[in-house]
């Protein structure tokens, strides 16, 4: 059987990613558990239950939340006409979803695909659309999820017909999403008076940054000589966990050593995050104590290694340097 890109990278750089491998196994096991539970619920034909975040990245650790949304593949309709309901799903999943409202809600694919840009494309809509593309995992209604993903991608690619140019609308929205996360980090700091600063900062430096890069890279790398080629390339990449997408990019750019150090640092972070005491320390450290927290300093060290690796890939390799200069800034 053909190995996955992360395994190929491990072989090429001569190091193992034990924590990521363990997290992948854990994800599969827990997805199956949740599938079994949720399969008993009534379901409308056009509805999916989708897990996001670490589930979509295949990086579930002991402290992962059940970030989920109910995806309706179509237009808005009243909540009481939708099965399963939010309450039904919430009772079967372990944790409460995040506070800002992107999760634990119903998302209508018509909104996600037709409201790209302008006022109606609010923070939640953008977040749901991006997470559906970049890190989502269905546990009920897989076919609906697949169709919704394809419809969203097709909306982005509809006008992407300029030769030798990546799909600009998708590129701009992925960059917009990353910058939105960064700005929202500051916004949450003010709103919550610093609560949860350490863990959010650590994730911004690691998981969120890697997720952004794993969306950006396939867009820059995709073939632009045929619409169908671009579409199938992007679908293929977007269906991989983000660490596979990144591993593929490091391998294709011919820099497995750099990829090994980058994903090695992330592997270390995932391993530490699986330790309850490490996670708890990050969750409680306030900004003013960051420089005195061993756990935060560790996360920052690993985050810097990840950033150096990504910058090396994007700006120091022949294949990508010119593409980044040509398309990624303006």
Partner 1 sequence: MTATLTAERRSLLTHHPIGASTGYMYAIRGDWRALIAEAIELSPFAAELSVLSESEMEGLACFLADRPALPFRYLSIHGPSKGRTMSEPYLVEALIELAPHAESVVMHPDTMSDPEQYRRLGHKLVIENMDAGKLDGCTVEQLRTWFADVPLAGFCFDIAHAWSIDPSMDLARELLDEFGSRLRHVHVSSLSGDLHHVPLTEEHEELFMPLLERCLDVPWILEAPPRSPQTSA
Q: Which residues of this protein are in contact with partner 1, per CB under 8 A?
A: 13-15, 164, 166, 220-224, 255, 257-258, 260-262, 264, 298, 301, 304, 308-309, 311-313, 315-323
How does DSSP assign 224-270, residue by residue?
-S-HHHHHHHHHHHHTS-HHHHHHHHHHHTT-HHHHHHHHHHHHHHH
The bridge status of strand 106-108 relative to strand 136-140 is unpaired
Smaller CB separation from partner 1, 136 or 243: 243
- Tokens matching residue 72: 């309706």
Nearest to 269 by CA among 205, 327, 211: 205
Q: How far is residue 302's CA from residue 202's CA, in Å, rounded to a whole number?
A: 9
Q: Closest approach of Cβ 31 to partner 1, in Å? A: 30
Q: Closest approach of Cβ 254 to partner 1, in Å? A: 8
Helices (H) and strands (E) in the chain, counts: 15, 4
The answer to whether the CB of 23 falls within 8 A of the CB of 58 is yes
Smaller CB separation from partner 1, 107 or 219: 219
Residue whose structure tokens are 């679908």 = 235
Q: Closest approach of Cβ 200 to partner 1, in Å? A: 22
Smaller CB separation from partner 1, 14 or 78: 14
Smaller CB separation from partner 1, 76 or 315: 315
Q: Closest approach of Cβ 257 to partner 1, in Å? A: 4
- Tokens matching residue 114: 């037709």
Smaller CB separation from partner 1, 196 or 223: 223
Q: Closest approach of Cβ 173 to partner 1, in Å? A: 18
Q: Closest approach of Cβ 17 to partner 1, in Å? A: 11
Smaller CB separation from partner 1, 113 or 221: 221
The bridge status of strand 136-140 relative to strand 68-72 is unpaired
């Amino acid at each position: 059987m053909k190995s996955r890109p992360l395994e190929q990278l491990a072989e090429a750089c001569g190091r193992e990613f034990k924590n990521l491998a363990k997290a992948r196994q854990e994800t599969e096991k827990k997805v199956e558990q949740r599938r079994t539970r949720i399969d008993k619920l009534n379901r409308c034909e056009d509805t999916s239950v989708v897990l996001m975040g670490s589930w979509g990245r295949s990086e579930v650790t002991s402290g992962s939340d059940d970030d989920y949304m109910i995806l309706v593949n179509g237009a808005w309709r009243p909540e009481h006409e939708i099965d399963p309901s939010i309450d039904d799903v919430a009772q079967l999943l372990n944790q409460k979803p995040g506070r800002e409202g992107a999760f634990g809600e119903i998302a209508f694919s018509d909104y996600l695909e037709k409201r790209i840009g302008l006022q109606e494309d609010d923070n939640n809509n953008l977040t749901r659309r991006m997470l559906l593309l970049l890190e989502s995992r269905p546990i009920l209604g897989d076919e609906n999820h697949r169709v919704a993903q394809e419809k969203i991608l097709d909306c982005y690619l509809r006008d992407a017909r300029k030769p030798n140019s990546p799909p600009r609308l998708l590129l701009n929205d992925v960059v917009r999403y990353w910058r939105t996360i960064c700005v929202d980090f500051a916004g949450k700091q003010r709103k919550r008076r610093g609560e949860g600063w350490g863990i959010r900062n650590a994730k911004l430096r690691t998981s969120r940054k890697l997720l952004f890069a794993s969306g950006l890279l396939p867009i820059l790398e995709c073939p632009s000589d045929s619409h169908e080629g671009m579409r199938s390339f992007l679908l293929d990449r977007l269906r991989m966990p983000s660490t596979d997408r990144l591993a593929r990019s490091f391998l294709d750019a011919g820099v497995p050593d750099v990829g090994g150090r980058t994903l090695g640092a992330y592997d270390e972070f995932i391993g530490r995050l699986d330790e309850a005491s490490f996670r708890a320390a990050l969750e409680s450290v306030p900004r003013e104590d960051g420089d005195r927290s061993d756990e935060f300093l560790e996360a920052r060290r690993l985050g810097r290694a990840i950033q150096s690796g990504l910058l090396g890939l994007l700006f120091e390799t022949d294949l990508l340097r010119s593409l980044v200069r040509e398309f990624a800034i303006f």
